[in-house]
A and B are shown apart, each in its own frame.
Chain A
């Protein structure tokens, strides 16, 4: 597609439930990133995929968070046993090369009630 697509755009879930967030990167972009944007906290790096290499998971805040990228394209971020502090906008970005910058999706707004 022409841009990075994320779904759903909004998700309301009950505390303790699992959620899956999806990201479709730009075709041909080998790098894919997940960020979390919380009110007053700026943008927090979560995880990075580059081609077929093992992902950099250093930003994941707890073991309740996991992500996978199938076939070097679509990525799914999974949050298990959601907590209220997980409420945030989750942004996905893809890149052809860091020289060119990153293209962001519109994000998924997650609300845990």
Chain B
């Protein structure tokens, strides 16, 4: 079974400050991990993904995430927040290999950017 925990339903940072959104997962087999962003009244857009290649993954809009197996974490970071980063962010996991399980999502973190 797989699960995702996102710490903090809301995170508020000042424009220009570091963004850190936390994600921890559990999976019985090596996972594939994803971060998605959702802007108001829109679908989910893939930010970045980890699929067992490099553990530090760079995505769109200056975001990156690091897979740490020992900590079962896949935290999302951005060095300098921009007002346009305000959105809902979802971490998701799927077990690698076969099987019909879909992506399992965390409950999401609402990122607020203070001017």
Contact = CB atoms under 8 A, between A and B. Distances in A.
Given A41-B107, A107-B43, A50 B102 contact: no
A50 B73 CA distance: 29
A102 B100 contact: no
B27 interface: no
A101 B49 contact: yes
B32 A98 contact: yes
A39 B37 CA distance: 16
Given A45-B102, A48-B102, A101 B46 contact: yes
A105 B102 contact: no
Interface residues of A, number: 24
Contacts of A65: none
B84 interface: no
B42 A106 contact: yes
A99 interface: yes
B100 A48 contact: yes
B42 A102 contact: no
A41 to B, nearest CB: 7
B67 interface: no
Contacts of A45: 101-104
A12 interface: no
B90 to A, nearest CB: 7
A43 interface: yes
Interface string A68-104: 0000000000000000000000010100001111111
Contact of B51 (A33, A43, A48, A99): A99
The 9 closest A-B pairs by CB, nearest first: A42-B107, A43-B105, A104-B43, A56-B100, A104-B44, A106-B43, A45-B102, A101-B46, A48-B102
14 contacts: A41-B107, A42-B107, A43-B103, A43-B105, A43-B108, A56-B101, A56-B102, A59-B102, A98-B32, A98-B51, A98-B96, A100-B49, A101-B46, A101-B49
